[in-house]
Amino acid sequence: MNYKYEPLFETLTFKNGIQIKNRLVMAPMTNWSSNPDGTVTESEVKYYARRSGGVGMVITACTYVTANGKGFHGEFGGDRDELIPSLQKLATAIKEQGAKAILQIFHGGRQVPPELIPDGDVVSACNIPAEGNGKPVPRELSDQEVRSIIRDFGETTRRAIEAGYDGVEIHGANGYLIQQFFSPHSNRRDDHWGGS
């Protein structure tokens, strides 16, 4: 091995004292393997376990924080307490291999397929549809709903902690809800959730 890569295989201790066995991280990758009710399947648990042995940390595929934030088929959920045992199976499988388990959390916003969410109620920063033919026109979130979704991110973080995860990663890219608030294309609000 080239000596310049040796630091990748050294332990790393974060300021809070958490230590990872090396500096290799499995990035979050969608695998479309979960049950329709948002629970993790055994094949998904095995998928993560097989990939957790050599890395210091594993970041899961994105997990929706509200029922109307589910972005795709086969995605596991973190939007209700009944899912904690399911989330725990996955965290345990990762950690048994010696890696830290990180739960990636998100809300799909205007990118969600209407057939996957309650009443097909697609929401976003504004009522601007995503680019592409046939994309639904989302409903603009009210101030109270934005605050509620922020709390939902917090509640999903609590569930992750209770399920044994070592941390969460907030997914704010790829055109999902958080990014929709940052984009001048999708956020044309003039209140404190928009503007300049």
> If 0-12 CB within 10 Å is exposed, 13-18 middle and 19+ buried, where does residue 135 land?
middle
Per-residue pLDDT tens digits for 61-109: 999 999 999 999 999 999 999 999 999 999 999 999 999 999 999 999 9
Copy the structure tokens of residue 153. 């991110």
Bridge partners for 124 per DSSP:
140
Q: In the numeric block, which tokens belong to residue 177? A: 């809800």
Q: In this prediction, what percent of the chain has a pLDDT beyond 70?
A: 99
CA distances from 36 to 5, 40, 117 (A): 42, 9, 11
pLDDT of residue 132: 84
| CATH code linked to domain 39-182 | 3.20.20.70
CA–CA separation, 153 and 150 (whole Å): 5
Strand partners, 104: 169
The two three-digit tokens of residue 179, written as one number: 């990014």
pTM (two decimals): 0.94
What DSSP element (H or E) covers 169? strand 167-170
Structure tokens at 185: 């294309």
Question: What mean pLDDT do residues 110-138 have?
Answer: 94
Please give the mean pLDDT across all residues of the chain: 95
Cα separations in angstroms, 32 against 11, 38, 47, 73, 187: 32, 11, 12, 6, 29
**Token output for 25:** 């991280």
Buried b (16+ CB within 10 A) or exposed e, 68-106: bbbbbeebbbbbeeebbebbbbbbebbbebebbbbbbbb
- Per-residue pLDDT tens for 157-176? 999 999 999 999 999 999 99
Residue 195 reports pLDDT greater than 80: no
Q: Tens digit of pLDDT for each residue in 32-52? A: 999 999 999 999 999 999 999
Give helix 84-95 / helix 42-52 axis angle, nearest 10°: 30
Kindly report the backbone phi and psi dihedral angles of residue 72, in degrees, each rounded to the nearest multiple of 5, phi listed first: -165, 160
pLDDT at 133 over 90: no
Give the list of residues 6+ apart from residue 114 with CB closer than 8 angstroms, or none.
120, 121, 122, 136
